[in-house]
Amino acid sequence: RGESSLSPAERELIAARVSRANDCEFCTQSHAAAACHLFPSDGATIVDEVVQQQNYSGLSEKMQRLIDLALAVQQGGQFVTQSHIDRARAAGADDRAIHDTVLVAAAFCMFNRYVDGLGTSTPEDANMYDMMGQQLATQGYVM
């Protein structure tokens, strides 16, 4: 993971939420698990509320606006408006956070289609996702 004004937990949360919007179960579960491991406390509750229940009330105003921006990106570039950017900035997001949100959202739209397009098997055992999440949280994306 590179430098960002967003924490690794926040970036994984954006990845998981965009993956849920794209109906990519593998990416939703694995990146939600990573976010759970990365949030300092009560990560499972925060992640479940955002990813599964689409309830953002437990997030900062900045993260709520960045999730809104990410979901606009997920719908398509033409759905991102100046209003999304202005609301994110008004909530405290800097240019780097806005850039990184768009980058993560766009990348996961591609990754989700890649994973699903290849017919990647989706583990039924939740422990598999927890193990993947732990690995992503501790080792990042190093192969």
Show the domains of the chain with their CATH numbers. Answer: 8-139 (1.20.1290.10)
pTM confidence score = 0.94
DSSP code string of 56-117:
-TTS-HHHHHHHHHHHHHHH-GGG--HHHHHHHHHTT--HHHHHHHHHHHHHHHHHHHHHHH
* Geometric angle at alpha carbon 100, from 61 and 73, rounded to 5°: 80
Share of the chain above pLDDT 90, in %: 83
pLDDT of residue 141: 83
pLDDT digits (tens, 9 = 90+) for 118-128: 999 999 999 99
Contact 35, 16 (CB under 8 A): yes
pLDDT of residue 40: 82
**CA distance linking residue 55 with residue 47, whole number of Å:** 10
pLDDT of residue 143: 60
Q: What is the dihedral of CA 117, 12, 53, 26, to 10 degrees?
A: 30
**Tokens, residue 6:** 């967003």
Question: Which residue positions in the chain have pLDDT lower than 50?
Answer: none
**CA distance linking residue 107 with residue 91, whole number of Å:** 24
